[in-house]
Structures are given as structure tokens and as C-alpha cells.
Structure 1
Amino acid sequence: MPDLATLALFCAATLAILLVPGPAVVFIVSRSTSAWRPGSPARRPDPSPRAQAVRPAGPAGASG
């Protein structure tokens, strides 16, 4: 059986590893929150002429 200091150090290290997110979690969270920031590329309209020329099919697209 390990002594109390070793066991406490092991528990602290285990807790630190569990609480710190890995690189995949940081990437996913940063990508998902960047879509909600003002001025982010995900919120800007597409300035290409093709994007402006394409209209949805159906009654909503035919009337405009």
C-alpha cells in the first residue's frame, strides 16, 4: 500500500488530467463558438455572384 503522500499526489494528478480538456475538445468548442462571434466568417453573407443568383425552388423563389 502506498503512503499517504504518494496517494494524494496520484489523486491530484488524476483529477488534473480529468479536468483539463484535450486538444479535440478545445478545437470543437472553439469552432462552435466562433460561429457566434460578430464578424466571424460563418456569419458573413457570401459575396459571390453565384450565391446571389441562386434562389430556392418553389413559390417563394418564383415570386422574387
Structure 2
Amino acid sequence: MSTIEAIEEAVERLSKNELAAFRDWFSTYEAATWDAQIERDIVSGKLEGLASEALADFRSGRTKEL
């Protein structure tokens, strides 16, 4: 049995309250993981090209207010 399958089986056995707690924990975990990746991308300069392109579009009037 793979780790994923073991996790799936364990999740299926959770009570309603345990599932809610797990869902909250996983949501927080996933957000923190995403934030860490964005921080690494910023520090490495990976987003510089996208930022430059967005600013150029804004300055040339190729954007619209949301």
C-alpha cells in the first residue's frame, strides 16, 4: 500500500469533527507551503519578468481596473 492510499484510508475513518480539524489543518498547511514557494520565487528573481511585463502593460494603458 502506498503512502497516499494509507492517508486516504485514514481520512475515510475520521469522524466528522476530526475531518473538520484535518481540513482546517490541511488548508493552513497548503497556504503556508504556497507562501513559502512564492517567497522563494521572489528572492530568486523568478517573478521579475512577470512584474516588469505587468508594469509595462499598466504604464501603456493596456490594463483595466477590476
TM-score (norm 2): 0.34
Q: Which has the higher helix share?
A: 2
TM-score (norm 1): 0.35
